[in-house]
Structures are given as C-alpha cells and as structure tokens.
Structure 1
Amino acid sequence: MLYLCLKYLHVIAAIFLFGFGMGSYLYLIAASRTANPQVIAHVARMVVRFDTWITTPAGFVQIITGYGLMRLSGLSMSTEWVLMSLIIFVCVGALWLPVLLLQKRLCQIAVQASEAGAVLDVRYATVYRAWFWMGVMGFAGMFVIVLMMVTKMTPVQLLGYWL
C-alpha cells in the first residue's frame, strides 16, 4: 500500500511539474508576444509565484517519492534507467533556478518599462531569449524522464528496441 501511495504522489507531482511548468511557460510566451509591458509584468508576477510555490515543491516531491519507490521496489541506483533519469533530473533542476531568476528579471524589466510608459528594450529580448531556450531544454529533459519512467528503458535502449 505504501508503494502505491508513493507512486500516486510521484505521478501527481509529475503532473504538477508538467502542468504548472508548461502552463507558466506558455503564458509568459504569450504575454511576451504582446510586447505590452503591463501585460507581461502581470503575467510574469503570477508565473514567478506559481513556479516558486507549486512547481518547485513538486520537484522536491518527485525526488522524495522517487527515492522511496526505488527503495521499496528493490531497484539499485545503478539501474540504467534510474541513473539516467536521475542525471537528467539533476540537469533539468540545474536549469530551474536560473529560469526562475530570469523570470523575475523579465518581470522587473516589464514593470520598469510599464511605470516609465516606455516600450521594452533590448534587455528584455536578451533575457527572454535565454529564458526561452533554457525552458526548451528543461522540458525536453522532462519528456525524456517521463518516457523512461513509463518504459523503464533509457533512450538508447528505446532506440535499439524500435530499430
């Protein structure tokens, strides 16, 4: 029963990571496309808040429940798909803090432009570009991790299976 509870929490946390993470990402992209500093400032504030209080804790729940599931199922940390998913998770996590800081910076730039009645300058575009591509890399890693969780195979094993 403990295993099923942990698995349930693990899946729910994954849904929160994807759902809130992807939702925040897409909303900030849509807001940025308006080039309206007021819209961007409002959306960026919400995105930072959601990512800080919902998405980030979901990542910690993933770590705790994943470790518990591994222990209860008798898997070793050296099991290929477990080790590979952990390495990718750490890489995605290493992108997370800079992404959160860049979101805060995007918000600050938008607030400053809004208060000054100005348009967004090149600083916004530079920070946005870095934030966007770090998000692409992070979500690509998350997709691969979910694929490994479902199949219990590494990407290389999956390619060998399909070829």
Structure 2
Amino acid sequence: MDSYLIAKTLHIISSTILFGFGAGTAWYFWNAHLSRDPATIARVGAMVVRADWIFTGASGIVQPASGLWLVHLTGHPLDSSWLIVTYGLYALAFACWVPVVRLQIKAQRLAAAAFAKRGALGPDYERTMRLWFALGWPAFLGLTAVFWLMVAKPDLW
C-alpha cells in the first residue's frame, strides 16, 4: 500500500473514532445524567472519562498528524481557505473537549460523593452538567463542519 492510502486510511479511521467516541460517550453520559441516579452517573462517568482519554484523546492526536501528512502528500497549500477554516474548527473542538473532560471528571466525582452519602445531586453538579452540555455543542457542530470541509474542499475566499 502506498503512503497516500496509508495516510488516508489512518485519517478516516481516526476521524471515525474521534467523532464516534465523542458522540457515543456524550450520549451515555447524558443519559446517565437523565437517570438522576448518582450510582449510575458515577459508574457511567468513570467509563466515559476513561474512554475519552484512551480513544477520543488518542485519535485527537492522530487526526492533525495524519491530516498534515495528507496535505503534504496531495500538495494542497497549507493556507488553502478550507484548511484554514478546518484548523480553526478543530481548535474550537479541542478547546471545548479539554474542559468537557474535566467537567465529566468533576460530575462523576460529585455523583460518587452523593452516592456515598446516600444524598441527592447538588447545585454544583447541576452547574457542572449545564456547562458540560453547553460546551459539547460547539465541538460536535465544529467537527461536523470539518467532515464537510474534508470532503468538499471548497474555495472559501
């Protein structure tokens, strides 16, 4: 297999893992949250954080590396308009993901503490989850737009 096919395959697989695990972990964590059960939130939260670090984090590193490799192999200028927008959207998604993982850890710990005390989820947990939810949308929509840019490669200016 030539370099281009290796780079493209790596880029497609890592983008699938990045997007799929990001959406999947968000889905499970949100549904655990909707259960309002501290034990469920604590258990699911622990798995979500681990999956985010292992899969989303690793693929988040592979994505720009394989993308730059593809840009080099295909001869696209690094300052192509569609690439510049892609860089910005990817940076936005990353800038949202880092605090999202921290918020997941905080929410998971707050739920575990509530479960240990046989208490209810408190206002700090609620604030944490509202911020987690709000930060998830720009990341999700940004990566969705990146998929389109990768396929269409439009000349934006």
TM category, shorter: over 0.9
Alpha-carbon shift at residue 19 of structure 1 (Å): 1.0
Q: Which runs of 4+ in 1 moved over 2 A?
A: none
Distance 1:21 1:145 in 2: 14
- The normalised TM-score by structure 2 is 0.96
- 1:148 and 1:40 map into 2 onto residues whose CA distance is 36
- Kindly indicate whether residue 83 of structure 2 is the aligned counterpart of residue 82 of structure 1: yes
Question: How far off is 1:91 after superposition?
Answer: 1.3
How far apart in 1 are the matches of 2:118 and 2:103? 22
Aligned to 2:53: 52
Q: How far apart are the structure 1 equivalents of 2:44 and 2:154? A: 38
Alignment of structure 1 residues 18-33 onto 2, 5 Å: 18-33=19-34
Unaligned runs of 5+ in 1: 158-163
Alignment of 1:14-163 (within 5 A): 14-153=15-154
Q: Alignment identity in percent?
A: 33
**d(CA) in 2 for partners of 1:93 and 1:86?**
10
Deviation of the 1:124 alpha carbon? 0.9
Deviations 1:89-114 (A, max 9, x none): 01111111111100000101000000
Unaligned runs of at least 5 residues, structure 2: none
| Amino acid aligned to 1:66 | G
Single out whichever of 91-100 and 108-117 deviates more from structure 2.
91-100
CA contact (8 A) 2:49 2:101 kept: yes
Is the contact made by 2:92 and 2:138 (CA closer than 8 Å) also made in structure 1? no
- The two structures have a TM-score, normalised by structure 1, of 0.93
Q: Quick one: which amino acid aligns to residue 99 of structure 1? A: V
After superposition, what is the alpha-carbon deviation per residue over 1:52-94, rounded to whole angstroms, capped at 9, x for unaligned? 0111110110011000000111111110101110111011111
Letter in 1 for 2:145: V
Structural RMSD (CA): 1.1
